[in-house]
């Protein structure tokens, strides 16, 4: 979707807060939000449905909420969507029928869990890759999936394949709960192709793009 999240190249945001924004967490609740997000509290979601959920936020909130405020809001939505809690629970702030307590885990347990979370998104694919390294490609101008990883700034642009990664799960499908693999490539675009003649001729931007986003140039 052409949502407010698709920020690449948008102008008017001012300087990056290099010093003030240097800490990963400013508040204790941010740490707790990060912790909650790691632990599978919404087991039926996919990573793509999570990302798509953030994209579906009220646009004004997306731009004004801090990162973890967006995550908290999105997890509340995801848990209601999955039927784990109700909107009434949210408004009340507690559930009427609590379940038994979850088993507490230690830091050592968590460190092992982190290692197991090293997820492989590649999938076997019998179809041959359409593009070889070095091939010229053009990205699509229009995307009609609700969720895509082809940003607006790199649509209808010509680039060069610099790497092929085999097939990876396609987020466009993952956001709809389906598991479908497709060839994935890293494509380099000259900065001038994306931004015009003012860009430095030496510079480029690479994106990791699935085969269905690309046609031969």
Output the smallest distance, CB 58 to other proteins, in A: 4
61 binds other proteins (CB under 8 A): yes
Residue with tokens 């209601």: 80
Q: CA–CA separation, 29 vs 71, rounded Å?
A: 12
Judged on CB neighbours under 10 Å (0-12, 13-18, 19+), 111 is exposed
Interface mask toward other proteins for 118-157; x: CB under 8 A: xxxxx-----------------------xx-xxx-xx---
Residue 175 near residue 147 (C-beta atoms within 8 A): yes
- If residue 116 lies in a helix (H) or strand (E), which one and from where to where? helix 107-116
Q: Closer to other proteins at the Cβ: 111 or 132? A: 111
Piece of 60-68, 126-134, 136-144 that binds other proteins (CB under 8 A): 60-68
In the region spanning residues 75 to 94, those forming contacts with other proteins, defined by CB under 8 A, are 75-85, 87, 89-91, 93-94
In the region spanning residues 15 to 54, those forming contacts with other proteins, defined by CB under 8 A, are 15-18, 20-27, 29-36, 38-42, 44-47, 49, 51-54
Output the smallest distance, CB 147 to other proteins, in A: 8
Q: Report the Cα–Cα distance between both ends of the chain, in Å, rounded.
A: 24
In the region spanning residues 161 to 200, those forming contacts with other proteins, defined by CB under 8 A, are 165, 168-169, 171, 175-177, 184, 186, 188, 191, 194-195, 200
Q: Closer to other proteins at the Cβ: 131 or 151? A: 151
- If residue 186 lies in a helix (H) or strand (E), which one and from where to where? strand 181-190
Q: Residue 40 is encoded by which pair of tokens?
A: 């599978």
158 binds other proteins (CB under 8 A): no
Regarding beta strands 158-169 and 122-123, do their DSSP bridges make them parallel or antiparallel, or are they unpaired?
Answer: antiparallel
């Amino acid at each position: 979707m052409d949502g407010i999240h698709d920020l690449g190249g948008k102008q008017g945001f001012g300087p990056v807060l290099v010093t003030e924004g240097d800490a990963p967490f400013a508040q204790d609740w941010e740490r707790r939000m990060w912790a909650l997000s790691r632990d599978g509290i919404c087991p039926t979601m996919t990573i793509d449905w999570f990302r798509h959920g953030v994209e579906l936020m009220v646009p004004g909130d997306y731009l004004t909420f801090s990162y973890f405020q967006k995550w908290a809001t999105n997890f509340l939505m995801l848990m209601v969507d999955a039927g784990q809690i109700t909107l009434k629970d949210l408004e009340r702030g507690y559930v009427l029928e609590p379940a038994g307590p979850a088993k507490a885990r230690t830091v050592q347990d968590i460190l092992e869990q982190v290692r197991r979370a090293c997820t492989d998104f590649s999938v076997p694919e019998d179809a041959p890759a359409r593009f070889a390294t070095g091939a010229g490609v053009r990205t699509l101008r229009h995307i009609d999936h609700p969720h895509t990883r082809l940003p607006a700034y790199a649509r209808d642009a010509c680039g060069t394949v610099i790497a092929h990664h085999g097939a990876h799960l396609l987020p466009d499908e993952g956001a709809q709960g389906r598991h479908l693999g497709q060839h994935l490539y890293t494509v380099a675009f000259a900065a001038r192709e994306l931004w015009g003649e003012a860009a430095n001729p030496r510079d480029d931007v690479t994106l990791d793009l699935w085969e269905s986003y690309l046609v031969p140039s």
